Chains A and B, each alone.
Chain A
Amino acid sequence: MPDLSALADPGFLAVQCLNGLTQAMFLFLIASGLSLIFGVLGVLNFAHGSLYMLGAYLSYTIASWFVGSPAAFWVALILGSIGVALVGGIIESVFLRPVYRREELDQLLVTYALVLIISDLVKLAWGAENRSGSRPALLAGSVVIAGRDFPTYNLFVLAVGPLVALGLWLLLRRTQFGRLVRAAANDREMVGVVGVNVTGLFTGVFMLGAWLGGLGGGLAAPIGAIFPGMDVEIIVESFIVVVVGGMGSLGGTLLGALIIGQLNAFGILFFPRFAIVFVYILMAVVLVIRPWGLLGRPVTRG
Chain B
Amino acid sequence: MSAAMERRWVVRAVAGAALLAVPLALPQFYLLLSVEILIMGLFAIGFNVLLGYAGMVSFGHAAFFGVGAYTCGLLLKKTEAPFVVAFLAAPVVAVVVAAVIGYFCVRLTRIYFSMLTLAFSQIVWATAHKWYSLTGGDNGLVGVPVPAWLIGPRTFYGFVAGVSVIVVAVLWRIMQAPFGRTLLAIRENAERAEFVGINVKRSQLTAFALSGAVSGLAGGMFALFTRGAFPEYAFWTKSAEVLLMTLLGGPHVFLGPALGAGILIVLNSVVTSYTEYWPIVLGIILLALIYVFPGGVTRIFLGWRGTGRPAGPTRA
- Is there contact, CB below 8 Å, between A116 and B126? no
Contact yes or no, A288 B112, CB < 8 A: no
In the complex the two chains form, what is the Cα distance from A299 to B57 in whole Å?
Answer: 17
Q: Tell me the residues in window 98-127 of chain B with beta carbons closer than 8 Å to chain A beta carbons.
A: 104, 107-112, 115-116, 118-120, 122-123, 126-127
Q: B130 near A274 (CB under 8 angstroms)?
A: yes
Whether the pair A302, B190 counts as a contact (CB closer than 8 A) is yes
Q: Tell me how far the C-beta of A49 lies from the nearest C-beta in chain B, rounded to whole angstroms.
A: 12
A113 touches B286 (CB 8 A): yes
Residue B307, interface by CB 8 Å: yes
Cβ of B111 and Cβ of A277 under 8 Å apart? no
Q: What is the chain B residue whose CB lies nearest that of A281?
A: B123
Q: Are A113 and B112 in contact (CB under 8 A)?
A: no
Closest CB-CB distance, B310 to chain A, in whole Å? Answer: 13
Task: Output the nearest chain A residue to B289 by Cβ-Cβ distance.
Answer: A109
Q: Which one, A110, A120, A239, A301, contacts B118 given CB within 8 A? A: A239
Q: Is the CB of A120 within 8 A of B279?
A: yes
Q: Is the CB of A283 within 8 A of B115?
A: yes
Number of interface residues of B (CB under 8 A): 39
Which of A96-104, A176-184, A217-225 forms contacts with chain B? Answer: A96-104
Q: Tell me, in angstroms, the Cα distance from A232 to B140 when the chains sit together.
A: 21
Complex contact A236–B286 (CB within 8 A): no
A105 lies within 8 A of B57 (CB) = yes
Contact of A291 with B by CB under 8 A: yes
Give A236 to B122 CA distance when docked, in angstroms: 10
Interface range for A: 35 or more
For residues 25 through 54 of chain A, which have their beta carbon under 8 Å from a beta carbon of chain B?
Answer: 44
Q: A106-B294, A116-B279 are in contact. Are A287 and B284 (CB under 8 A)?
A: no
Indicate if A284 sits at the interface (CB-CB under 8 A).
yes
Secondary structure of the A contact surface, majority rule: helix
Chain B, residue nearest A247 (CB): B111
Question: Which residues of B have CB within 8 Å of A301?
Answer: 109
Contact A273 B280 (CB under 8 A): no
A212 within 8 Å of B (CB atoms): no
Render A84-111 as a binary contact track against B, CB cut-off 8 A, 1 for contact. Answer: 0000000000010011011111100110
- B127: which A residues are within 8 A, CB to CB? 277
Known: A103-B308, A243-B115, A302-B190. A236 touches B108 (CB 8 A): no
For A121, the chain B residues whose CB sits under 8 A away are: 280
| A171 at the binding interface (Cβ < 8 Å) | no
The answer to whether B280 touches A302, judged by C-beta atoms less than 8 angstroms apart, is: no
A114 within 8 A of B: yes
Given contacts A99-B290, A119-B279, A287-B112, contact A109 B247 (CB under 8 A): yes
Decide yes or no whether B287 CB sits under 8 A from chain A: yes
Residues of B with C-beta under 8 A to A98: 291
- Pairwise interchain contact B280-A120, C-beta atoms closer than 8 A: yes
B108 touches A109 (CB 8 A): no
Give the contacting residue for A280; candidates B119, B244, B284; CB below 8 A: B119
Q: How far is the CB of A240 from chain B (nearest CB, A)?
A: 8
B115: contacting residue among A112, A116, A239, A277, CB under 8 A? A239
Does A75 have its Cβ within 8 Å of any Cβ on chain B? no
**Which residues of the partner chain B approach A196 to less than 8 Å between Cβ atoms?**
none
Flag if B119 contacts A284 (CB, 8 Å). yes
Evaluate contact between A116 and B286: CB separation under 8 angstroms. Answer: yes
Compute how far the CA of A113 lies from the CA of B281 in the bound complex, rounded to whole angstroms: 10
A206 within 8 A of B: no
CB nearest neighbor in B for A46: B240
CB pair B109 A302 closer than 8 Å = yes
Contact yes or no, B112 A117, CB < 8 A: no
Q: Are A287 and B116 in contact (CB under 8 A)?
A: yes
In the complex the two chains form, is B294's CB within 8 Å of A299's CB?
A: no
0/1 string, A269-302, CB within 8 A of B gives 1:
0000110110011011001100110000001011
Chain A residues lying within 8 Å of B123, measured Cβ to Cβ, are: 277, 280-281, 284
Give the shortest distance, in Å, between B283 (CB) and chain A (any CB). 4
Q: What separation, in Å, do the CA atoms of A197 and B112 have in the docked complex? A: 30
Note all chain B residues with C-beta closer than 8 A to A113.
282-284, 286-287, 290
Instruction: Point out the residues of chain A lying under 8 angstroms from B61, CB to CB.
Output: none
What is the CB-to-nearest-CB distance from A299 to chain B, in angstroms, rounded to a whole number?
6
Question: Which positions 226-260 of chain A face chain B at CB distance < 8 Å?
Answer: 236, 239-240, 243, 247
Question: What separation, in Å, do the CA atoms of A94 and B279 have in the docked complex?
Answer: 20
Q: Could you give 14 example pairs across A and B, Cβ below 8 Å?
A: A109-B286, A114-B283, A116-B279, A120-B279, A121-B280, A240-B119, A277-B130, A280-B126, A283-B115, A284-B104, A287-B104, A288-B104, A301-B109, A302-B191
Name B's A-contacting residues (CB within 8 A). 57, 104, 107-112, 115-116, 118-120, 122-123, 126-127, 129-130, 190-191, 236, 240, 244, 247, 277, 279-280, 282-284, 286-287, 289-291, 294, 307-308
Q: A113-B283, A277-B123 are in contact. List 8 more A-B contacts (CB 8 A).
A: A105-B57, A110-B290, A113-B282, A119-B279, A120-B277, A120-B283, A243-B112, A287-B108
